[in-house]
Structure 1
């Protein structure tokens, strides 16, 4: 478990927060928000999942308020998007790759932290998913959009996080929660997300679905 408090993983954590914050600030630009709106969506997207997890498990004050780097990183993303958003939009594919890496890291780290605070394996996996995807849900709600997590017309996002969190929970159950095994679980979620982006994989809808609502493009 010490692996996840190492300087390397802390740095990767900040990278994940930064990339998530970029996506929040970019959405704010598309919605024509002012600079304060950019900062709010960047902070919420980058820190929302971890903040929710820490409050639920009683890890207070949350890491978002005890580590200045966590708070400042989304503000750095805000400044970059504010001045360079056309450039960031052009490298959106690279941003998505880093976003997938953040998803993998956060679903594993979230599951581990929840279990360390005494939650069951199932509850820990759920909070692992919340850590990885919660910020994006809050971002979309604040921007008055249907969360991407719930939309069929978007590539799978929750499924890779669920797989990574579940793999982590099973490794804990089998007493195989080594740094290498945890890294493998994170890579599994990362690769699944990349494959979903590459091949446009989507989660299945209801069997024999009958709906008068047209599919969104």
Structure 2
């Protein structure tokens, strides 16, 4: 139990490291005031450069991947990896180092979680669910929608892959956390006057607000 609690708390602290913000400041740009204002890889990619955006993506992904693998293989913790991922997602989206202000969208952290699950025994089909889900969403040329379908795809494929209960629970938690993070965009979308049904669809399904990029 102590390992699991420590995993969640440490995951939150590590997830809260704002790599996009650090890269932006290094390049003398405050990403919170540029583009979408999102402290994530996509905004860094657009505002700072392709290589810097790729670096942010990698570092954010590793926030979940490396510690989860360590918890699974070295500490042999069953629930520790999932709790680390949940903590890292919350920390990434609302970092303590930035006074809990809304920061990234957590997609890279979720990607790191899925890659980690792919290494765990008996979850080979799990990665296939993520890839198929994301690919089907990209066909519609809507990255935000692709992420949502990816998350749903992992929920569907988890039992087919014979995934352990923590992995299945992590899949469901990912969907809840993703929608919770996206819901913070609802006031901005509703304020555009497009109507509540359209606003809910654009925000929760496509992760976008009219007039803004991801």
* TM-score bin, normalised by smaller chain: 0.3 to 0.5
Q: TM-score, normalised by structure 2?
A: 0.36
Q: TM-score, normalised by structure 1?
A: 0.36
